[in-house]
Amino acid sequence: MEIIEPIGHHELLLVIVQLTVLLFVARVLGETFSSIGQPAVVGELLAGVLLGPSLLGFVAPGVYESLFVVSESQFHLLEIISWLGLIMLLLVTGLETDIDLVISKGKTAVFLSLGGILVPFATGFALGWFLPSEFIVSADHRLVFSLFIATAMSISAIPVIAKILLELDVIRRDIGQLILAAGMVDDTIGWILLATVAGLARTGVADLGSAAVTIFSVLVFLGAAFTIGRRLIAETIRWVDNAIGSDIALLSTVMVFALAAGALTQYMGLEAILGAFVVGVLVGQVKRFTFQVRHVFETMTLAIFAPLFFAIAGLRMDLATLADPLVFGVGLVVLAVACVGKFGGIMGVSGLAGLSKWEGITIGGGMNARGAMEIIVATIGLGLGILTTSMYSIIVMVAIVTSLMAPAIMRWSIPKIEMGEAERQRIERERYLEDSFVNNLNRVLLPTRGTVDTQYAARLISPLLRNLQADLDLLCVTPSAESGRTHRGVRGRLGRLVARIGGRSETGTDSGTDELEYRSDSDEIDRVFSSVERRLGPIAGETRRLVRESDGSPAESILETATGGYDLVVLGERTLERSPSRPLFSQTVDRVVQETPCPAMVVSTSDAVKQDPTSIDDPIDRILLPTIGTQTSRHAAEVAFTIALEERALVEIVHVVASHRSDDRFVRRTPRSHELDVGDRIVDREAELGRQLGAKVVTTVTVSDDPGEELVDIADRTDADVVVMGSNTRPMTQRAFFGPNVEYVLTNAPCPVVVLSSP
């Protein structure tokens, strides 16, 4: 076996220096343009031109030659980095693409794309047919040359457009998504045209078979991607998150998918960027790839790889060739035809598509950017012997100039596009979802012993997780085999101890300690899980059964399991008698609440539910939501609104203003009117969120000497079905303490109570 020698010392040094210079200049120019109100992509595009023969080669030819006048194999090292940046940029573009919104605007996007293809293609073909023969490699190839110019005029640059939209912060707006959708259709048609023209150049005859194969390949790939690929990507990301739970692992997984899909589309005769873009779209629909992980990937791409891609793309251009008057004149004509053709085509159909004048200008300005896509087309034409060096430089110049024009046009026109109410609500909802507590639940842990309390907890989890792509793990803790032998006695080897995760027995006896009951090794554990699963019903994510053996307290196993990347631990537990020194819950639940690394939700059932377990399935018509305006109260509000939406329940948002005691001399009294105004603002803020999510809400602000007692009275008067509260645990003696008002409601409410606690 022949051993491949590593890259030479000088070659490695040179590529590192090249990347250093390119990234430094690209970022400096990018930040410079950002500081004057222009997108950074403009400066990054210019970096390659300035470092190429146009400026550096003219001012310091020795430096330029030592850096960039290298062998083809050496320059290919840079091109590999460039393609990696291009793939990552298209992946980011896919992540930001709302496929449902694009589909809803599909007809308009196709209409715009046809206008942006047909008119530039016709004007480009006419231009190529009448250009002077000096710009054609062979007069016999006039037809091929004209078709190639037409294709070059029709193409748009999705990476440049995407980066401009990202930097202008409009990629999530309807106009941004419409530009992306039209651009993708435009480019797909453009690559098919390019394949046809390239086949014609190679064979000298119109290769319609090649075009048909290309179209078929695109349809096959997209069909497989959005069926088999969608499921494969979703299941793999979920498995990686469950098994590893690392952001690094998720990023690596997504990048592997992008590279694999890029390799597949390249093998099929398509472009690697198509595969990367489609993977981005599919990953963007997987909830496990959270906004935080996405932000990390976007930051890495836009800070390092995208600037390198844009800078490397401009290195091939030589402005010196444009100094010739004829070449310069033809270049201006080509630029004019390119802009008029694209703008004319878009503006011509925008009115027919029901778009405003400013929307047409914005879309025309965005799709007029050719960027590196046209540079790639020009490179292919040069390699196939279709273009002369002068014509190559003209096409590259058109690509750069149109890319510089696009952000200026879009920055000028976008503010003039009025945002509709539906679009505004969609964007506000998306911004809320980025920081939403409920929407970012990916993994939930429910320790269970099969009691009424955990069954009711499962009954509340069901509407909470019904439409979320969140996985639910049911956990049963059992003593280890060694521990179990000391307790089996006459029950022999078939018996097994299942650890109770609470301190109240099935008959309701308070013990305050963890009890152990003899249960069958498999049948009883299955009964525990089945009793909870019956209350769950269907949820969007997966439900798993976990059994953990423990030599000590069940709390140890629950806490150890909770460290595995869970976003919420749900505990079903009745409260014990209220006492300042005794735990409010059993020792196990009390410890889990105190030490859990993630938020905990404790569900405490009422005596009525305990006496009649069949009432667990009763509909929830009214939810009481006390709030004090804290972040935890906000999270509890999200839980209440989500349950209310699924149950079609009414949420009453309550804020209780505590009365001042007459003998409280150490407290500075705030005017009652001011406290009531603050209370109104608090409940109105939560009510606005509820209405935004679509829930039915009413608000109440009241005054009481004892807020906890007032909340219990309100729950009793309004016949509330459940109370949902948010509270942070507070250090007090050796037990979890939620505060006197929350604990009073927990122990005295006539209905089940849910307390969401953040660590």
Question: How many residues are listed for the chain in this entry?
Answer: 759
Q: How sure is the predictor about 268, in pLDDT bands with cuts at 50, 70 and 90? A: confident
Q: Which pLDDT does position 759 carry in this prediction? A: 63
pLDDT of residue 190: 72
The pLDDT value given to residue 487: 41
- The arithmetic mean of pLDDT across residues 720-728, rounded, is 90
The per-residue pLDDT for 699 is: 93
Q: What is the mean pLDDT of residues 401-424?
A: 83
Compare 193 and 302 and report the one with higher pLDDT.
Answer: 302
228: its two tokens: 């088999």
Q: Kindly give the residue spans of alpha helices, DSSP state H, lying in 489-630.
A: 523-536, 554-562, 587-595, 607-611
What are 238-257's pLDDT values in tens digits?
Answer: 888 878 878 899 999 999 99
> Average of pLDDT values for 534-559?
83
Region 25-47: mean pLDDT is 82
Predicted local confidence at residue 161, as pLDDT: 79
Which two tokens mark 705? 């000497």
How far is the CA of 352 from the CAs of 120, 127, 380, in angstroms? 18, 27, 36
Pairing of the two strands 730-732 and 622-626: unpaired
Residue 376 has pLDDT above 70, yes or no: no
Provide the 8-state DSSP code for 670.
P
b/e sequence 593-609, b meaning 16+ C-beta within 10 Å: bbbbebbbbbbbbbeeb
pLDDT band at 522 (very low <50, low <70, confident <90, very high): confident
Ordered by where they begin, the domains of the chain are 99-304+324-421 (1.20.1530.20)
Give the closest residue to 154 by CA, choosing from 189, 179, 110: 189
Q: Which pLDDT value is given to residue 446? A: 93
Which tens digit of pLDDT belongs to each residue from 129-187? 988 888 887 767 788 888 888 888 888 877 677 777 877 788 878 888 888 888 777 76
Q: 208: pLDDT confidence band, cut at 50, 70 and 90? A: low
Percent above pLDDT 90 for the chain: 19
- pLDDT value at position 19? 94
| Alpha-helix residue ranges (DSSP H) falling in 97-173 | 99-104, 106-130, 142-154, 158-167
pLDDT of residue 399: 82
The helix (run of H) or strand (run of E) holding residue 723 is strand 722-726
98-109 mean pLDDT: 73
Q: Are strands 495-499 and 516-520 parallel, antiparallel or unpaired?
A: antiparallel
**pLDDT band, very low/low/confident/very high, at 227 (cuts 50, 70, 90):** very high
For residues 605 and 752, the answer to whether their CB atoms sit within 8 Å is: yes
Condensed to tens digits (0 to 9), the pLDDT of residues 631-675 reads 889 999 999 999 999 999 999 999 998 876 555 554 556 677 788
pLDDT of 40 reads 76
Question: Does the pLDDT value for residue 287 go beyond 90?
Answer: no
What percentage of the chain reaches a pLDDT higher than 70? 86
Which of 475, 721, 500 minimizes the C-alpha distance to 605?
721
Is the per-residue pLDDT at 554 higher than 80? yes
Burial class (CB in 10 A: 0-12, 13-18, 19+), 420: exposed
Specify the DSSP class assigned to residue 628.
Answer: -
The mean pLDDT of 301-320, rounded to a whole number, is: 82
Average pLDDT, the chain: 81
pLDDT digits (tens, 9 = 90+) for 690-714: 988 889 999 999 998 889 999 999 9
